[in-house]
Amino acid sequence: MKQHGFSTRAIHAGQEPEAVTGAVNVPIFQTSTYAQQGIGDHKGFEYARTHHPTRFALEQCLAELEGGTHGFAFGSGLAAIDAVMRLLPPGAHVVAGDDMYGGTFRLFDKVLKPLGYRFTYVDFRDVEAVRAAVAPETGMIYAETPTNPMMRLCDLQAIADVARDSGAMMVVDNTFMTPYLQTPLSLGASIVLHSTTKYLGGHSDLIGGAVVTADAGIAERLKFLQNACGAVPGPMDCYLTLRSLKTLAVRMDRHCANAQKVAEYLASHPEFGAVHYPGLPDFPQHELALRQMRGFGGMISTDLGSLEKARSFCAAVKVFAFAESLGGVESLLCHPVSMTHGSVPPETRQRLGITDGLVRFSVGIEDAEDLIADIKQAMEA
């Protein structure tokens, strides 16, 4: 379906009507195994960790949306990242962004580093710093853009050039943007991955992950790792993610429109500190955002100045739910220091600007006026 538009692919790719009944939705095949006709005689499905029709439909759809050839679904975003890291042997060197989701940092620092993997963390806004950090033994460059929670961007095409020159794989966590707003494979990345828990799932009702590539060699190894390590999602979660992909484009348009209004409101009120949102004209990397993103997304962070102010603000919101996670239809508010980024060392948080007063908004698809009124009343409270 490569010639079709994004929404057509989201609704149809991998989702032909079912062969037996013609059901237009991919069924939830709630099975762990498949009857075989005889020794070595089966319909291509042997055991559900290895072969699963609902999961295959999701994987094909995700691959087509990201402009890749192979998709792999996992039981969580971190399971997807873990599988990608296993493409490298212990001892390998990775150059990673210094501002990323705290759970990814915890996986790198507390699980993989003790196994011998070596990480160099760099400010990915500075392409030359990334180039300088790459060594002959570097196996991977790992990027998030925009970063969580500071919304910093990296120039995907320029960093993919560094990766290509050095022979390293370039991996991009595209969770914040989704393939509707940004397609890293088209800019030179080798692998794109997601926490599908966020915008792709979109309704805060599942945990999942995904990896997509257009490289047949990488795909073969990922397929082996997915089956050999076994962190696959269940059929129900695959179905829910597929159903959510059908509305991804309309949801993302609304997330972007609402976030733009909320960011403009925050930026026009002096009681809020710097507002980090790529759609604001004075965002330091606004030009880059216009170049590599098709919209600015639904995530905003801003500094309320102190822990006390953040505490009372988080307790006072009524429409926003004070909760971890992001990307659902409902608006969420998070305090990174005490929630998502608790495992990042305090000195690193300080350096990155993840202060005690920083709050992060995941702007949902409710009425923007209600969201702004909620922020206003919480500030007054």
Cβ 275 to ligand PLP shortest distance, Å: 20
Q: How far is the CB of 197 from ligand PLP (least distance, A)?
A: 4
Q: Write down the least CB distance from residue 263 to ligand PLP, Å.
A: 19
Residue 59 or 173 with smaller CB distance to ligand PLP: 173
Q: Which one of 34, 49, 294, 370 is the catalytic residue?
A: 49
Closer Cβ to ligand PLP, 101 or 117, answer by number: 101
Q: Which is nearer to ligand PLP, 172 or 368 (CB)?
A: 172
Catalytic residue from among 98, 99, 155, 173: 173
Q: Which is nearer to ligand PLP, 171 or 275 (CB)?
A: 171
Contact 317, 378 (CB under 8 A): yes
Single out the catalytic residue among 125, 131, 198, 254.
198
Burial of 167 (0-12, 13-18, 19+ CB in 10 A): exposed
ω into 146 cis (within 30 of 0): yes
Asked if 134 and 187 touch (Cβ cutoff 8 Å), the reply is no
**Cα-flanking dihedrals φ and ψ of residue 172, to 5°?**
-125, 125
**CA 166 to CA 27: how far, in whole Å?**
44
What's the alpha-carbon Rg for the chain, to the nearest Å? 21
3 state SS for 145-159: CCCCCCCCCCCHHHH
Residue 208 beta carbon to ligand PLP: minimum distance, rounded to whole angstroms:
6
49 a catalytic residue:
yes
The residues that touch ligand PLP, with contacts defined as CB under 6 A, are 76-78, 101, 103-104, 144, 148, 173, 175-176, 195, 197, 207, 209
Smallest distance from ligand PLP to CB 22, Å? 34
> Measuring CA to CA, which residue among 246, 200, 250 is closest to residue 73?
200
Q: Is 294 a catalytic residue?
A: no
In terms of DSSP H, where are the helices of the chain? Answer: 6-12, 53-66, 77-85, 102-106, 127-133, 156-166, 178-181, 216-229, 235-245, 248-267, 286-292, 307-316, 346-352, 368-380
Give the nearer residue to ligand PLP in terms of CB position, either 73 or 87.
Answer: 73
Helix 307-316 × helix 368-380 angle, to 10°? 130
Per-residue DSSP letter, 108: I
| Packing angle of the helix pair 77-85, 216-229 (nearest 10 deg) | 120
CA-to-CA distance for 147 and 145, rounded, in angstroms?
5
Q: What is the dihedral of CA 16, 20, 23, 27, to 10 degrees?
A: -80
Half-sphere exposure of 79 (CA within 13 A, CB side): 20
Task: Output 9 or 102, the one with its CB closest to ligand PLP.
Answer: 102
Catalytic residue among 99, 101, 117, 360: 101
* CB closer to ligand PLP out of 101 and 320: 101
For residues 202 and 6, what is the distance between their CA atoms, to the nearest angstrom? 17
Which CB atom, from 60 or from 148, has the smaller least distance to ligand PLP? 148
Query: CB 300 → ligand PLP: shortest distance, Å?
Result: 14
Structure tokens at 186: 């088209």
Q: Which neighbouring-strand residues pair with 54?
A: none
198 a catalytic residue: yes
* Residue 178: CB minimum distance to ligand PLP, A: 11
In the complex, minimum distance from the CB of residue 135 to ligand PLP, in angstroms, rounded to a whole number: 26
Instruction: Give the nearest residue (CB) to ligand PLP.
Output: 77
Which sequence positions are flagged as catalytic?
49, 101, 173, 198
